Chain A
Amino acid sequence: MSESRVPNLQRERIIEYLKSQKRFDGRGLKDYRDLKVEMGISKNAESSCSVKLGKTEVYAGVKLGFAEPYPDSQDEGTFMVSAELSPMASEGFDMGPPKIDAIELGRVIDRGIRESGLVDMKKLCIKEGEKVWQVFVDVVAINDDGNLLDVAALACIIALGNAKLPIYNEKENKIEHELSKDSLPLNKDALAFSMTFHKIGSEFVVDPTTEEELVSDYRLTIAIADNDGKPRITAMQKGKEGAISQEDMEKILKLAEDKWTEMFPKISKLVWGK
């Protein structure tokens, strides 16, 4: 995000409002905006979706290909999340190769999903040491009105949860332009949901708008999976210059736990369809 495009006066107003537990769009500090998901935005993808949180919209698509396995994991598939923050989505994004915002976003989501163990890499092995499935998840920002990372991460897991493997024609050694009935191998228990918390003045907010993001001191993204009904943290990323006090860290963890308990069942339903 480019440095503050919000004038000081507005900054003060936002902080003042938040202190009295109000936001410009009428939400409470810990409320998410309306979530809308549309599946199948590309018929040529193994799975694809549009995810809208308020006015922030992201597309995600899953594609599979063949690859040679990495030398240190001869019997595992490969996985990559790439994000494109095209200037289509925001006045603040520039043309050209991915900037640090897009790289950070892609990497944080990539790590979050990879380390959670959601994708069963061993089952993506076709022939050990020679050929494995390569999973690409591509994210395209359509409209940025804040909280792109959470929306993009959500779009990725929803797309992955609904993906089917393409038909592999062993005889001719090629991928048919047709999907099989087999789902992409996933460890359902490993599903993690990312939430980003911003500290603005003395308050914490979830699901920030662009304005709120621009005036925050720091952000903390936490991905949480389910450990028999209890939260298990699988990935974190602290962003921006502000530093987190120990007291604040405890507050954020408590908040994260509460929001996760509220949101996770809804998110699971979107990913697994039930």
Chain B
Amino acid sequence: MTAKKSEKSLYEKRASGRKVDEIRKMNAKVGIVPSADGSAMFETGNTRAIAVVRGPRELHPQHMRNSETGILRVNYGMMPFSVWDRIRPGPSRRSQEISKVAEWALASCIDLKQFPNAVVDVFIQIPQADAGTRVAGINAAAMALADAGIPMKEMVSAIACGKIDKTLVVDVDKDEEDFKDGEGSTDIPMVWTSRTKKIALLQLDGKISPDELKSVLEIGKNACEKIYAVQVESLKKSLEEKNE
């Protein structure tokens, strides 16, 4: 899949030397926090996320309980030293919004009907950031949910695509995110479900034509298939280690 180019883009070659559809070097590991019910790390280039699952467990406060089904609660946060300009610890408007969209994305692939009144908590933390932290966090969280044995209808995989001037790319890094020339940088994080191929998260900041958006969704879907393979491989590996 090559990017659609009607006229010359100011960003033809990626600064990192990557191909437009090339994801940064990925690394994933399941079972990194022993006290948790499920946990995983997902890394792409210099962006690393860890995710922990606790539950199903009793939900407090009581008024949030649902007698029909268990609920999912996601909490995303960046460590203060994860970026160059230190982030003050604790929730921000940004982190709370990301927690919510990640929660919707992850809720679409799990089934908590057999756990009425309970909650499954997912904690996502970013120790080191080079753009794409929410998608790395969702990739780690999906693996952590599987590790915790939460009933899942399918897997989800996440990628941040971008339009850098007129060039469509996958797995945008910080340099690309900060690109200011021409049409600048458009950030398009998305989540695809593994089996039914649905879009479980979609956000966009910037400017893009409907045709370009269609192309970028396609590029993102393909990238998510590669990410899915990495997720499945590390889950298999951890199962093998558990069975040894």
Contact = CB atoms under 8 A, between A and B. Distances in A.
B17 interface: no
Contact of B81 (A45, A97, A143, A144): A45
A81 B3 CA distance: 47
Contacts of B81: 42, 44-45, 48, 61-63, 136, 138
Interface string B46-80: 10001010100100000000000000000101011
B238 interface: no
A73 B75 CA distance: 39
22 contacts: A41-B128, A42-B128, A43-B46, A43-B128, A48-B81, A48-B127, A55-B35, A62-B81, A86-B123, A86-B125, A88-B33, A88-B123, A89-B33, A136-B80, A136-B81, A136-B86, A138-B86, A140-B79, A140-B127, A142-B33, A142-B50, A143-B36
Given A45-B81, A63-B86, 18 more contacts: A41-B127, A42-B81, A44-B83, A44-B84, A45-B82, A48-B81, A61-B82, A88-B36, A88-B50, A88-B52, A88-B125, A90-B35, A98-B89, A138-B79, A138-B80, A140-B79, A143-B36, A144-B35
B129 interface: yes
Nearest to B82: A42
B68 to A, nearest CB: 24
A100 interface: no
Contacts of A62: 81
A140 B128 contact: no
B54 A91 contact: yes
A145 B123 contact: no
A144 B129 CA distance: 24
A43 B46 CA distance: 8
Contact of B90 (A97, A145, A177): A97
A59 interface: yes
A129 interface: no
Nearest to A84: B89
| Centre residue among B34, B85, B121 by max chain A CB count within 10 A | B34
A138 B89 contact: yes
A82 interface: yes
B86 A42 contact: no
Interface string B199-217: 0000000000000000000
A82 B89 CA distance: 8
Contacts of B83: 44
Contacts of B86: 63, 65, 136, 138
A138 B78 CA distance: 12
A87 interface: yes
Interface string A42-66: 1111001000000101010111010
Nearest to A102: B89
Contacts of B79: 42, 59, 61, 138, 140
A9 interface: no
Interface in A135-167: 136, 138, 140, 142-145
